[in-house]
Copies of this chain bind each other. A is one copy, B any other.
Amino acid sequence: MEWIEDGDLDFLKKRKVEAKEAAQQSVQLIIEKVKAEGDQAIRAFTKKFDGIELTDLRVSEKEVEEAAARVPQEVRRAISQAAANIRAFHEKQMPESWTETVEDGVLLGQKVTPLDSVGIYVPGGTACYPSSVLMGAIPALVAGVGRVVLISPPQKNGLIADGVLAAAREIGITEIYQAGGAQAIAALAYGTETIRPVDKIVGPGNLYVMLAKKQVFGDVAIDSLAGPSEIAVLADDSAHPSWVAADLLSQAEHDKMSMPVLITPSRSLAEEVDKEVERQLETLPRRDIAEPSIETVGKIVLVKDLKEAAEAVNKIAPEHLELAVADTESVLPLIRHAGAIFLGMYSSEPVGDYFAGPNHIIPTNGSARYASPLGVDSFVKRSSLIRYTDEALQKNGSAIAAFARYEGLEGHARAVEKRLKGAAVHD
C-alpha cells in the first residue's frame, strides 16, 4: 500500500470516476429506446448485454420457490436471521406524524406518508447479492410502501440468481423482473407494457446503472449515486494487524477501484498491517480484484495523533469507518463524516454488510459529507400541516399582507386581507 506521511490527502481528488461522454450518450439512447419501445427494448438489450433471450420479464412464483430451494439451508438460515436484524433496526427509524397547537388555536404539524411504489435494483450478472435485496427492500417494507418491486439482471442460465430470489421470498417480495443496467432503470422510471413505473429507484449498480439513475432523477426519485466501496480503519497500537489487514482486504475484493485506507499514529502497526495485507492477499480468491485496489487506490496515512486521524477521516468521509482503537468513546465525538461507524475490534465491517441490522447501502465517494445510509426515511415523506384560526389571522394578517406586498405579490396580500374583518379589500 502507498504510504502518506505528510498529511497530503490529495489522492481524494482522484476518487471520483468521471463518466465518459460516450457512456452518457449510450445510456441516454437506451433510456429513449425503452421509453419508445417498452418490453421489446428490454428484451433486445437483455439479449445484447446479458446474452439472454428472455421469455417472461416477470419471474413466476414457481421459479422463486424452486430457486429458493436450491440455496443451501445454512445460507437460507443466515438470510433469515439477517432479515430479522435488519427489520428490527429499521423499525426504530420510523418517523411519526405530529401536530401541535400553538397560540390562538393555530395547529401546525407534519404528516408522514410512505411512498406508493419503489423499485429495488439488485446487481447481478456474474454476482449474486441476496444481502442487497434485504438492505434495499426491508426499509421500504418497514416504511409501509405499498408496492416494492425487485429488478435484477438474469444470469447466464437465464434466471436471476437463486440467492437473490431466496432473499426476496424471505421478505415477501413477489413482483420481480429480470432486467439489468440502464434498461432496468428506464423501465422502473417510465414503465413498459409489463412493468408499471415506480416513484423511487434505489440500489447500487455499475456505471451504466448510476448514469441512468442520474438521468431519470427528477422524473422519479433515486437514492445516492453509488461509487466503489470504501473503508477507513482508524487504528492505534491496540489493534490486531492481521484483523485490520483482513478488513481492508474485505473492501478491496469488491472492486479494483475500491478504496481501503489505514489511518494510524503508529508506525509499527502500519508496517505490520502493510505486511499482513501482502501476506493475506496471496491466498485471496479475488486477488485479481483486491490487488489493484490495494496497490493503486489503497493508502496508509500516518498521522501525529488520534485527533489528526479523526480529521483525516472527516476529509475522506468514508462509506465505512472502523475505530480499531482502545478508547473508541474519545474518538467517536471527533468523527463528523462517515456512513457507518464500526466500534472496537469485534466490529469487523462484514458484520455490518450482512448481519447487524444497519443498512449496507451507504454513501460513497465522499458523499457521507451530506448523505445518509439508506433507511426508512428514504421511503417516506413529510407533508406540512397548517390550520390557521380566525383569531390568529386577524392578529397577524396585516403583517403577512405587508410582507407579501413588499415582495411584489399583491395577489398573496389580497388572499389574506379578504379574510380580515374591516380591512380594505382591493378587488
Contact = CB atoms under 8 A, between A and B. Distances in A.
Interface of A: 16, 71-72, 74-75, 77-79, 81-82, 88-89, 92-93, 98, 100, 102, 106-108, 110-111, 113, 115-116, 127-131, 163, 199-200, 214, 217-221, 225, 242-243, 246-247, 249-250, 252-254, 279-280, 283-286, 290, 328, 332, 335-359, 362-363, 367-373, 375, 377, 381-390, 392-393, 396, 399-400, 402-404, 406-416, 418-419, 426-427
30 contacts: A75-B406, A78-B402, A78-B406, A82-B399, A92-B98, A113-B337, A115-B369, A116-B336, A128-B406, A130-B403, A163-B407, A246-B427, A252-B411, A284-B410, A290-B411, A335-B383, A342-B386, A343-B387, A350-B413, A351-B396, A358-B384, A358-B386, A362-B384, A368-B381, A372-B381, A373-B382, A373-B383, A373-B384, A375-B382, A377-B377
Contacts of A100: 92
Contacts of A369: 115-116, 199, 381
Given A75-B403, A163-B407, 20 more contacts: A75-B406, A81-B399, A113-B337, A128-B408, A163-B406, A247-B415, A249-B415, A250-B411, A253-B412, A284-B410, A284-B411, A286-B410, A340-B384, A353-B404, A354-B404, A355-B400, A358-B385, A368-B381, A370-B381, A373-B382
A412 B218 contact: no
B383 A338 contact: yes
Contacts of A390: 346
A317 to B, nearest CB: 9
Total copies of this chain within the assembly: 2
- Which interface residue of A279, A353, A407 has the most chain B CB atoms within 10 A? A407
A81 B396 CA distance: 9
B351 A400 contact: yes
A137 to B, nearest CB: 16
Nearest to A113: B336
A339 B412 contact: no
Nearest to A249: B411
A368 B107 CA distance: 21
A335 to B, nearest CB: 7
Nearest to A323: B387
A343 B413 contact: no
A381 B339 CA distance: 9
A373 B16 CA distance: 30
Given A358-B386, A367-B221, A409-B286, A416 B351 contact: yes
A399 B113 contact: no
A85 to B, nearest CB: 8
Contact of A415 (B200, B349, B372, B409): B349
Nearest to A392: B346
A191 to B, nearest CB: 13
Given A400-B350, A418-B242, A108 B358 contact: yes
A358 B110 contact: yes
Nearest to A394: B346
Nearest to A410: B285
A250 B375 contact: no
Contact of A344 (B130, B339, B387, B403): B387
B386 A107 contact: no
Contacts of A332: 111
Nearest to A356: B386
A24 B409 CA distance: 30
A75 B200 contact: no
A116 B315 CA distance: 11
Contacts of A368: 381, 383
Nearest to A322: B386
B343 A407 contact: no
Nearest to A215: B214
A403 B280 contact: no
Nearest to A276: B427
Contact of A384 (B359, B382, B399): B359
Contacts of A419: 243, 345-346, 348
A184 to B, nearest CB: 19
